[in-house]
Amino acid sequence: MASEKKSVEHAKLPTPAVVKVRKAVRVIVPAAILIALVAGVGSGTLCSVGYDAIAYICPLGALESIFGSGAVVVRVIIAIAAVVVIALLFGKAFCSWVCPVPPLSSLFSSAKQRHKDKVACADAAKHVGERLHECSSAGCAACGCCASKAIEVNADAAAAEQSENSTKKKARKSKLDSRHFVLAGALGSAAICGFPVFCLICPIGLTFATAIAFYRLAGFNEPTLDLLIFPVILILELTLLRKWCHRFCPVGALLSLIAGFNKTTRPKADKSLCVRSDGTPCTICSGVCPEHIDPCDDLGDRPLSECTRCGKCIESCPYGALSFTKSNKRVEAKATATAVGEE
């Protein structure tokens, strides 16, 4: 098995399809919204987009409208229900696939700030390595990283211990943090003021509001204070509150509460390919994760439910052990290419 893993490592694996699709979606979605705006279709923005009576509403904005008005509208409930279903299926994929905040934060970040982000990811991976060592020392057979330890003991006893521990082991849930307090504040302010207060400073809305303001200037020669106010607020939020996604975003907080129940599209590790099954404390995937999670054994600083399906962990694994589906097409493609090359 070790030789098989080494052969996969030394050969360059193809870029995961999920990474290619995510990058395409991240460009296509805002482009489609802006094109519809210029074409006069009036489909809206990510805050509320749709056609005629069929529309998607930002779940946070929908909840704020309910708290602010004290009235429940069927269409708003349907929109919230649709978001809940999507989050149950795909977790927090919105954050890395559609939301404009992460790429804008990267755009406004200095080289020093980007270096700090890399150091933070490295520190998170170091913590995973420490937990792997602790887990291995404790002989926890329920953890994949302890498989080599289990081999050293009696097979029947190890199987019994693994069965017992695995029944006790539960998936980690996202803990309440500063994002959830911002979420509570957004809903509370809407209830007090009678309208969605947070929507006035939401960076997602400000991004498209800025684009619309520039469009009206270019297309209709309508200079307004929006051209100054919206970009200034947006830049201040993303530069002064650099950890917006991790510490302040109420949309991410709302999605995290739902994503904890998602099991279908989380990253999955093939134990026959992952070197942790041999006792190697590999933390490559953890070291590139911007959410500071551990895709293999959920030993990261943050739980696996915070995964945004960006695919960086899958792309970084030199063994091709990670995927979002049961079948690993990257390894299969590599095996096919290798067989053809040998012929």
Predicted confidence at residue 44, as pLDDT, reads 78
Round the average pLDDT of the chain to a whole number and report it.
82
pLDDT tens per residue, the chain (343 residues)? 444 454 444 456 888 888 999 999 999 998 888 888 888 776 678 888 777 667 778 999 999 999 999 888 888 888 899 999 999 999 999 999 999 999 999 998 889 999 999 999 999 999 999 999 888 776 554 444 444 333 333 344 444 344 444 434 455 667 889 999 999 999 999 999 999 999 999 999 999 999 889 888 888 888 888 899 999 999 999 998 888 999 999 999 999 999 989 888 889 999 899 999 888 899 999 999 999 999 999 999 999 999 999 999 999 999 999 998 765 555 554 544 444 344 4
Q: Summarize pLDDT for 101-127 with one digit per residue, the tens.
A: 999 999 988 899 999 999 999 999 999
Distance of alpha carbon 171 from its chain centroid, rounded?
17
Beta bridge partners of 55: 50
Q: Summarize pLDDT for 299-343 with one digit per residue, the tens.
A: 999 999 999 999 999 999 999 999 987 655 555 545 444 443 444
Predicted confidence at residue 242, as pLDDT, reads 83
